Structure 1
Amino acid sequence: MSESLERRITLVFIAFFLLRYTRTIVGIYTFLRYKPKPLNHPPKFRTDDVTVIIPTTFKRPGDFVKCLNSIVACHPLQIFVVTAFSNVELVNACVRLNSFDEVRVLGVERLNKRQQMIKALKKVRSEIVVFADDDVFWPDSDYLGYLLAIFEDSTVGAGGTRQRAKRSQKPSLWNFLGIAYLERRVWNNVTTNAIDGSISTLSGRTAAYRTEILKTEEFYDYFINDSWFGKQLNSDDDKCLTRYVYSRGWSIAIQFNSCSARSHWRGNFTVMFKESYWRSWKHWWGLYVIYLGQFQTPAAAVDGIMFFLLNFTVAGRPEYSKVANLAFGFWIFLTKILKLIPHFCRHPRDIMFIPASILFSYLHGIINIYAACTLNVTTWGTQNLDKLAQSRATDDSMVPLLRSAMSESDSSLESTPGRLTDGYDYFSVMPLVPME
């Protein structure tokens, strides 16, 4: 190989490396330096300035009860639960059984998460509205106050907190992959949000908004009529909300201490096609990490190309070849587990899942390519909404059904650190998003 060709290939390898891993190197520093938003005394907003909206299919009554228990304990002004008309009586029975006096149950003709959210939003009278899924569990009564601290900054229009998947006492591989997904997502969100305020998606599992931004006819029309190449969307609601907040000039904050593959592609492409904020100097880091970084998939192909370039680079120096390959292989291994190190420190036994986690990260790249080729699928995940909208209890069976569901629900959660600044919400579902 000629010296000039070797030099050019070396430069290509360096360019690939910097494009792929600058975000990782900068992210390490940012993650370690990031600090949560302080709680002011007295605070600008209190829990009675908040209305919580929970759209539900009422698929798992036990989880629904645990969710409501954790939210009621935070003392918001009011809680709206929105379900299908056919199951309003059933959900009301659940509310009465548990003496949830703050909860008001609303109904919609057909289950549609966006319609459910709008139905309740029109009735909100508080300055802050929080959307929460029916399978999240807020850790303690201080959680809501911790979340509200982001609104001390008058430029912040929306925000959320750190999330964790519920860890089983004896976690399965699938449970661990759910945990790993959240750890990676938290890392990515924090490292971009801390640098330039950008974020790919403010997770809809628990997210807070200034009511003035959303309670308008403009937003209702924007939200309900959101579409993908003419097909109305019944998914990607959190992507749409994130896009709307940014496009109206507000910032988004993540309260943190030191979510489907199609939604990822479709949501990012929608921003790139319809909005301009993503390519502004204000969100320069997000442009690199979120919008350019999404094309670095599948990881197996990208890593394979880099190994190929590296071996060409050292082809004329066989004494360096083995060392270079080992060093680069170790670097790739480190980047695969880097975002999970805090979890492994808490639960060392989960280290046994590292090989499977790395294999899944490569498989996930193939899943992402498939997702990118099927963006016309716009339904709400795997939910059978027509079936869930049907009444699932008669008057005689209603109370026994609810009592049974509540008694069977497992109330165990991973323990939450005792400091007020350690605010999380928990859930047990793992959506599919790009992994590194």
Structure 2
Amino acid sequence: MPVMDVDKVMLTVFTALFLLRYLRTVVSIFTFNLYQPKRIGDKPTYTSRDVTVVVPTTFKSETELTHCLRCIFACSPAAVLIVSSEANTHMIRSICGLKGFSRVKVLGVEKLNKRTQMIKALKEVETDIVVFADDDVFWPERYLDYLLAVFEDPSTGAGGTRQRVRRNPGFFTNVFNFLGISYLERRVWNNISTNAIDGSLSTLSGRTAAYRTHILQNLELYHWLERQNDDDKCLTRYVYSHGWNITIQSDPNAVLETTLEDNSKYIAQCMRWARGHWRGNFTVMKQESYWCSSRYWWGLYVIYIGQFQTPAALIDGFLFGLLAGAIHNSDHASTAYICLAAWIFFTKIVKLIPHFRRYPQDMMFIPVSIAFSYLHGIINVYALMTQSNTHWGSQKIERLQSARAQEEEIVLLLRNALGKSETQGEPVPD
């Protein structure tokens, strides 16, 4: 083949791979910034009095649970159900009683399993809407009002909101806290972008997710959920497969905050999430048809085809190799390499710009963030090869199932928990 033809072929392959990899990024910049929040109507179909909040908790931290409950009750739901291990129900009831939380019912399960806990609570729900919330999330004022706005569309069966990792106090934070922040910023960006175009979503996060109760309150769902491994992905799949839409509320007044591991345990969290991602997506691809339908065409490209564009170091390296092969004789080769490198750099930070606007000092972590994005590609590959591993990684379930304190220690723990919870700040809108 003539040299010129080889150059053209390599340039064509480079262009095709570049578009396949980065078209979604270009489109997401517009969709994320132009997607309109769901407005609260003058006469909303549902209010907070139509909501039961379910908190399936491992009870890892009494301080976080107390603060979480304060945020939930500030939004005035009709009822709150807390489900934990039988060994800790007495202490949780004591916390609720000492704090004066009303409308709380504490349920217990023999072994901690989020799906088992969810099923136990679902059987007790009497409201039209059920909201599942993790015990480490913190809602802003009127959070439920904004969340419920997604149900003004009668075709919406479930919904969620934007999320943010709580930044450690002080001018500077640590690197693991920043990595957790950047992870969730990117995930929220991707979710809003795909949801805005065709309603698709990889996973409706269980940190806080709202559902029409009648969709989940049936024996079919209970039996089905008991046999699954990944609760968030399972419920997402169940809602879509039954013909319902899932909607993300992007209003900046409805941004919940959460905490992630801010130490080396964060790596174990990433591994668990990555395994769940592969396991859940492959289950959808094997057992469902909605993912490849014309209805969710953009999600097919971004979520299911896009998942194989890993590790990033290999793909980006291949792009540079193709570009070098196509233009190595050109006088502008150096300029082209610089432009490609600048573009890749831009794509690594564009989804973090909202965070950098709030905390410009965190730009010092940009090199670490980029390095970790390439490391995460390796984590993804390892997770793909070990996806059958379903252990929690960063938590010891056996320890959490046992009683947190003996009877004589409970009062002291309660006082400490309540005192610390009063000093924690509330989420702040953008």
Q: TM-score, normalised by structure 2?
A: 0.93
C-alpha distance in 2 between matches for 1:414 and 1:326:
44
| Counterpart position of 1:172 | 174
Q: How many residues align?
A: 408
- Alignment check: 8 A CA contact 1:47 1:145 kept: yes
| Counterpart position of 2:109 | 108
Q: CA deviation at 1:382?
A: 3.0
Task: State whether structure 2 residue 245 is matched by structure 1 residue 251.
Answer: yes
| Counterpart position of 2:203 | 201
Residues 128-139 of structure 1 aligned to structure 2 (within 5 Å): 128-139=129-140
Task: State whether structure 2 residue 37 is matched by structure 1 residue 36.
Answer: yes
Q: 1:345/1:139 Cα in 2 relative to 1: closer, same or farther (>3 Å)?
A: same
C-alpha distance in 2 between matches for 1:413 and 1:367:
34
CA-to-partner distance for each residue in 1:381-423, whole Å, 9 max, x for gaps? Answer: 4322222111122221111112123324574347513xxxx6x
Query: Higher helix share goes to which structure?
Result: 2
Gaps of 5+ in 2: 253-269
Residues 51-62 of structure 1 aligned to structure 2 (within 5 Å): 51-62=52-63
75-84 or 374-383: bigger deviation:
374-383
- Alignment check: 8 A CA contact 2:194 2:302 kept: yes
After TM superposition, the runs of 4+ consecutive aligned structure 1 residues lying more than 3 A away are 408-415
Counterpart code for 1:162: R
247-256 or 392-401: bigger deviation:
392-401
Task: State whether structure 2 residue 388 is matched by structure 1 residue 376.
Answer: yes
C-alpha distance in 1 between matches for 2:404 and 2:427:
34
Counterpart code for 1:247: S
Secondary structure at the residue paired with 2:332? helix
CA-to-partner distance for each residue in 1:120-166, whole Å, 9 max, x for gaps? Answer: 100101000000000000012x1100000000000000010000000
- Alignment check: 8 A CA contact 1:66 1:411 kept: no
- Alignment check: 8 A CA contact 1:167 1:413 kept: no
C-alpha distance in 1 between matches for 2:144 and 2:423:
20
C-alpha distance in 2 between matches for 1:187 and 1:5:
39
CA-to-partner distance for each residue in 1:329-379, whole Å, 9 max, x for gaps? Answer: 000000000000111111111111101000000000001111111111112
Matching residue within 320, 325, 329 for 1:316: 329
Task: State whether structure 2 residue 197 is matched by structure 1 residue 215.
Answer: no
- Alignment check: 8 A CA contact 2:140 2:426 kept: no
Residues 78-117 of structure 1 aligned to structure 2 (within 5 Å): 78-117=79-118
Task: State whether structure 2 residue 163 is matched by structure 1 residue 163.
Answer: yes
Secondary structure at the residue paired with 1:406? helix
Q: CA deviation at 1:102?
A: 1.5
Secondary structure at the residue paired with 1:118? helix
C-alpha distance in 2 between matches for 1:363 and 1:243:
29
Secondary structure at the residue paired with 1:160? strand
Fraction of identical pairs, as percent: 56
| Counterpart position of 1:182 | 184
CA-to-partner distance for each residue in 1:184-234, whole Å, 9 max, x for gaps? Answer: 0111001100000000000000000000100000110111112xxxxxx2x
C-alpha distance in 1 between matches for 2:401 and 2:44:
41
Counterpart code for 2:18: F
- Alignment check: 8 A CA contact 2:85 2:110 kept: yes
| Counterpart position of 2:259 | none
- Alignment check: 8 A CA contact 1:72 1:102 kept: no
Q: TM-score, normalised by structure 1?
A: 0.91
Counterpart code for 1:106: L
Counterpart code for 1:263: G
- Alignment check: 8 A CA contact 2:138 2:427 kept: no
Matching residue within 186, 191, 194 for 1:192: 194
Q: CA deviation at 1:297?
A: 0.3
C-alpha distance in 2 between matches for 1:102 and 1:410:
21
